[in-house]
Amino acid sequence: MNNTKKIREKLTIASATLLQVANVSATEIPDDAWDIGTAVLFYSENDGRVSAIEPVISGTKEYKDGDIINLKAVFDSLTGATPTGAHASSVEQTFTNPSGKKPYTVAAGELPLDDTFLDTRIALSGSWNTAIFDEYSRIILGGNISNEYDYSSIGVSANFLRDFNNRNTTFSAALGLSSDSIEPSGGIPTPFTNMKVAGTGTNRDGADDSKTISDVMFGITQVINRSTLMQFNLGFSETSGYMTDPYKIITVIDAAGLPTTSLNTDDLPYVYENRPDSRSRQTFYWKTVHHLTEDVINVAYRYHTDDWGIDSHTIDFHYRYELGNGSYLQPHLRYYSQSAADFFVTSLSESDAAAATITDYASADYRLGEFVTNTIGLKYAMPVGKNSEFSVRAEVISQIQSDVSTAVGDQVNHDLTPDLDSFIIQFGYDFYFDQ
């Protein structure tokens, strides 16, 4: 399970929503033709952190009887350095890599990063959209499987759709189920035990663990008028099992705010995190697509809340501006804000760490902290011949972290939760062909 890019939710309800930002081709796709989409995405974080390359290929075919088949394959390759959960300090810090076999040091004043990070993932998914009962009812059945060196997942989904009101209203009810297996390098750490000096001691609870995820969504899509389409979704999700990140640690500090030195010879001043083994989430989603004379405006809002104490708001805006002859520009703006989990910390005092038990929860993972993310991007697409389209998309992402705890001693000299900037560029080529 990688620390910077967890496996995407596998064929959950969002993958079966009715309203999409369609990549409209320059020409209509003939009956019984395959619509093929290919893309390669490059992702890079600042300060030499994670970089990724992601090739994607998908194929969609609509048959004369109305059935639709979709197949997709994704490959991820990630390298670079990823935060461990420990924070910068005025003293040099020594850590052990995830396998527990090799030490590495971080200079004073630097954010601790694990630069041995390397991961690859392959994910395959497919869906079948077919009519049931009558011409007004459809069902979308889907499945997926993905694998990386320490994490695997398998999932299934079903989405029932029913048209009403002269097909101006569509009701949907969907269910998604997935089962994930985690087999981290070095095994499952015992919560709140100290990281060991490389090659010494043991602090593991086993080699692997698992979790299950179930999602339910109810949605309404409504044609407002000839130019406007609107969608509302309510989603409910339950996760049960191992949700702790086995590679994340928390710094144990003394009264001066420095990593404590009052430990056994084999112990380092960092303990492994612990998260609850269940999580309930609820989401509300609203989306509107409005066609102007030629251009298209697409705006969406999403609210998320869960029993970990995380509330988030997302506003997403696309504007497709037609340039003529099938070419278009599409600016993209996205705003995301998140509150911190109830158990998010930047560090633990010696007394807190000593009092922690397996029933306590704490994590210094910045993804569970309070932050705001702003995204600005632009896509350009143009037809290539009669049956294909080329596109390029670039986005800049700025994540601004908030400190949610009071700095102690030496901690005031350092940014405990540094901001993160990243950049995305994606090239796409879509085409169709007849069998």
Q: What is the pLDDT of residues 119-148, one digit of tens each?
A: 899 999 999 999 998 989 999 999 999 999
Neighbours of 40 (CB within 10 A): 15
pLDDT value at 19 more than 60: no
Per-residue pLDDT at 435 = 59
| Confidence at 22, pLDDT banded by 50, 70, 90 | very low
pLDDT value at 433 more than 90: no
> In this structure, are residues 36 and 431 in contact, taking their beta carbons and an 8 Å threshold?
yes
Two structure tokens written together for 338:
């998140």
Backbone angles phi, psi at 14, to 5 degrees: -60, -30
> What is the DSSP track for 146-194?
EEETTEEEEEEEEEEEEEETTTTEEEEEEEEEEEEEE--TT-EEPTTPE
Per-residue pLDDT at 171 = 97
Name the domain count of the chain.
1
Q: Mean pLDDT across the chain, nearest whole number?
A: 90
> In this structure, are residues 121 and 148 in contact, taking their beta carbons and an 8 Å threshold?
yes
Q: Are strands 51-62 and 33-45 parallel, antiparallel or unpaired?
A: antiparallel
Per-residue pLDDT at 69 = 96
| DSSP H helices in 298-402 | 350-355
> Each residue of 208-235: pLDDT tens digit?
999 999 999 999 999 999 999 999 999 9
In a domain, 390, yes or no: yes
What number is the average pLDDT over the span 159-177?
A: 96
Distance CA 288, CA 232 (A): 9
| Confidence at 157, pLDDT banded by 50, 70, 90 | very high
Which of these ranges, 10-19, 142-151, 167-176, 192-201, has the smallest mean pLDDT?
10-19
Neighbours of 225 (CB within 10 A): 9
In a domain, 209, yes or no: yes
What number is the average pLDDT over the span 45-73?
A: 92
> In this structure, are residues 398 and 419 in contact, taking their beta carbons and an 8 Å threshold?
yes
Distance CA 90, CA 241 (A): 38
Per-residue pLDDT at 122 = 96
Per-residue pLDDT at 18 = 30
Domain hosting residue 430, numbered range: 13-434
Per-residue pLDDT at 66 = 87
In a domain, 3, yes or no: no
pLDDT value at 251 more than 50: yes
Most confident region among 4-13, 108-117, 120-129 by mean pLDDT? 120-129
CA 48 to chain centre: 20
In a domain, 8, yes or no: no
> In this structure, are residues 334 and 314 in contact, taking their beta carbons and an 8 Å threshold?
yes
In a domain, 6, yes or no: no
Distance CA 81, CA 116 (A): 7
In a domain, 101, yes or no: yes
Query: Minimal CA–CA distance to 47: which of 113, 122, 117?
Result: 113
| Confidence at 9, pLDDT banded by 50, 70, 90 | very low
What number is the average pLDDT over the span 170-189?
A: 96
> Each residue of 270-313: pLDDT tens digit?
999 999 999 999 999 999 999 998 999 999 999 999 999 999 99
CA torsion, points 262, 265, 268, 271, in degrees to nearest 10? -80
In a domain, 2, yes or no: no
Backbone angles phi, psi at 102, to 5 degrees: -125, 140
Q: Three-class SS of residue 14?
A: helix
Distance CA 57, CA 410 (A): 50
> In this structure, are residues 388 and 430 in contact, taking their beta carbons and an 8 Å threshold?
yes
What number is the average pLDDT over the span 17-38?
A: 58
Per-residue pLDDT at 28 = 55
> Each residue of 339-379: pLDDT tens digit?
999 999 999 999 888 887 767 899 999 999 999 999 999 99
| Confidence at 29, pLDDT banded by 50, 70, 90 | low
Residues 6+ apart with CB under 8 A from 263: 194, 269
Neighbours of 337 (CB within 10 A): 16
Distance CA 136, CA 164 (A): 8
Q: What CATH number is attached to the domain comprising 142?
A: 2.40.160.40
Q: How far apart are the first and last CA of the chain?
A: 40
Integer angstrom CA distances of residue 371 from 21, 52, 283, 341? 27, 23, 19, 11
CA 275 to chain centre: 18
What number is the average pLDDT over the span 260-268?
A: 88
Distance CA 386, CA 389 (A): 9
| Confidence at 114, pLDDT banded by 50, 70, 90 | confident
Residues 6+ apart with CB under 8 A from 326: 26, 27, 382, 383, 389
Two structure tokens written together for 383:
């037809």
Query: Minimal CA–CA distance to 337: which of 312, 317, 315?
Result: 312
